[in-house]
Amino acid sequence: GAGVSQTPSNKVTEKGKYVELRCDPISGHTALYWYRQSLGQGPEFLIYFQGTGAADDSGLPNDRFFAVRPEGSVSTLKIQRTERGDSAVYLCASSLMASGISNEQFFGPGTRLTVL
Amino acid sequence: TQLLEQSPQFLSIQEGENLTVYCNSSSVFSSLQWYRQEPGEGPVLLVTVVTGGEVKKLKRLTFQFGDARKDSSLHITAAQPGDTGLYLCAGKAETGGFKTIFGAGTRLFVKA
């Protein structure tokens, strides 16, 4: 079965540009998470979706970051006016459900974003 | 702010040696998870521990959750080159919610 897929795998952009990163979760998974992983660090939580709604967006660093999941499946992370400090690997994960303290998150391979 | 501190940050050992990596916090977590991540891939879940004092074994890997649910350890017996990777601990706060906090990881290199 297909796992979580993310596109593109690599994205190079210039400072100030707008980028969109896409995540296709495992079919049937209702919960979807976005993380950002900088070099030498663990993943940093950005936002969590339950179905179509963002249940927790407390990790989004500022209003340049926005994410949507309009049909409760595919999600897009949008970054406006990119800055060099946004360079990182953006990871997406999905889980069957979010309730319960031990739900397993399945991660995609990530999108490596480089802002020049 | 809940933080998970992992130690050591980097570990290079010979095949066959034993090792332990640690994950510590001043906060109480409702559960802790250990992941392994290889270059160019996302983390893969190894185990989840939920009860204080719990010990789980996965082949040569032994995971322990502290009695107070503030810390955890991962012990590998007779390490093999295939164990090489970044080991991450992650936890969900006892206060609830769905936010998962990750440590910075321990990068393990096992030499043949």
Domain around A14:
5-96
Does the residue A39 lie in any domain?
yes
Which CATH number covers residue A45? Answer: 2.60.40.10
Q: How far is B18 from chain A (nearest CA, A)?
A: 24
Which CATH number covers residue B71? Answer: 2.60.40.10
CA distance B69 to B52: 5
The pLDDT, as a whole number, for residue B58 is: 95
The pLDDT, as a whole number, for residue A106 is: 94
Q: What is the mean pLDDT of residues B9-35?
A: 94
Q: Do B105 and A41 touch (CB under 8 A)?
A: yes
- The number of helix segments (H) and strand segments (E) in chain A equals 0, 11
The pLDDT, as a whole number, for residue B99 is: 82
Indicate whether A112 pLDDT > 90.
Answer: yes
* Of B44, B45, B104, Cβ closest to residue A42: B104
Confidence of residue B85 (pLDDT cuts 50, 70, 90): very high
Indicate whether B95 pLDDT > 80.
Answer: no
Interface A–B counts its CB contacts (< 8 A) at 62
* Of B44, B45, B99, Cβ closest to residue A45: B99
Number of domains in chain A: 1
For A7-65, the pLDDT digits (tens) are 999 999 999 999 999 999 999 899 999 999 999 899 999 999 999 999 889 999 999 99
CA distance B90 to B29: 9
Mutation site for A-interface testing, chosen from B33, B98, B106, B107 by largest number of A Cβ within 10 Å: B98
- Is B26 within 8 Å of B92 (Cβ atoms)? no
Cα of first residue to Cα of last residue in chain A, in angstroms, is 37
Two tokens at A15? 């400072």
Confidence of residue B5 (pLDDT cuts 50, 70, 90): very high
CA distance B76 to B84: 11
Indicate whether B94 pLDDT > 90.
Answer: no
Confidence of residue B97 (pLDDT cuts 50, 70, 90): low
Domain around B53:
5-111
Q: How far is CA B45 from CA A105, B3, B26, B32, B36, in A?
A: 8, 19, 23, 11, 7
For A57-98, the pLDDT digits (tens) are 999 999 999 999 999 999 999 999 999 999 999 999 999 876
User: Looking at chain B from residue 26 to 65, which residues have their Cβ under 8 Å from any Cβ of chain A?
Assistant: 30-31, 33, 40-45, 48, 50
Two tokens at A113? 């974003």
The pLDDT, as a whole number, for residue A18 is: 98
B103 touches chain A (CB under 8 A): yes
Does the residue A102 lie in any domain?
no
What does residue B16 show for φ and ψ, rounded to 5 degrees? 100, -15
Confidence of residue B98 (pLDDT cuts 50, 70, 90): confident
Number of domains in chain B: 1
Q: Do A101 and B50 touch (CB under 8 A)?
A: yes
Does the residue A47 lie in any domain?
yes
